Amino acid sequence: MPDRFPAITGWAPWRCAEKLESENMPIATRALQTLGGLLGVDTAEMESLLEIAYFHDWQSAPYSRGAYSYVKPGAADAPEVLGRPVKNTLFFAGEAADITGNNGTVHGAIASARRAVTDITKRDTASAAD
């Protein structure tokens, strides 16, 4: 933002990414085949419409190794610390703040959001009782 332009993002999680890696085909070509199939558009036409494609192999990134966040050795309490409310007014959620053991995942993000909503609800209930 503020620029608006047509863009599409594709994501291949874990086993899907491994399968894509094993195919002897550029990722952009495979993505265009899939998108073309979904839209009923020929791959060649999709290729003619494509202006630029970016690809990042998150699984091989040396600092993330496939995760959105990760806990370094000795910091096992980091997700709990990240998820603590500040002065009962600022609440945090996201996969890095998950305390269910699923940090770095979508379901970890959802779990932390549910925890934050529970914390907010408890705060609101306590405030209403005062």
128 close to 119: Cβ distance less than 8 angstroms: no
Say yes or no to pLDDT of 65 above 80.
no
What's the rounded mean pLDDT across residues 66-72?
Answer: 68
Cα–Cα distance between 95 and 79 in angstroms, integer? 9
User: Residue 128 belongs to what H/E stretch?
Assistant: helix 106-129
Q: What is the pLDDT of residue 33?
A: 93
3: confidence class by pLDDT, cuts 50, 70, 90: low
Report percent pLDDT > 90 for the chain: 32
Token duo for residue 121 = 């609800």
How far is C-alpha 119 from the geometric centre of its chain's CA atoms?
23
Residues 42 and 48: their CA atoms lie apart, in Å, by: 10
Q: Which tens digit of pLDDT belongs to each residue from 32-50? A: 999 999 999 999 999 999 9
73-92 average pLDDT score: 89
Calculate the average pLDDT of the chain.
Answer: 84
- The average pLDDT across 10-24 equals 81
CA distance 31 to 117: 37
Kindly report the pTM of this predicted structure. 0.49
Q: Are 30 and 23 in contact (CB under 8 A)?
A: yes
CA distance 51 to 6: 10
Q: Whole-angstrom Cα distance, residue 100 to residue 112?
A: 8
- Residue 115 backbone zone (phi > 0: left; psi -120 to 50: alpha; other: beta): alpha
- pLDDT at residue 44, as a whole number: 94
Phi-psi region of 61 (alpha: psi -120 to 50; beta: other; left: phi over 0): beta
The residue with greater pLDDT, 126 or 25, is: 25
pLDDT of residue 68: 67
Q: How confident is the model at residue 59 (pLDDT cuts 50, 70, 90)?
A: low
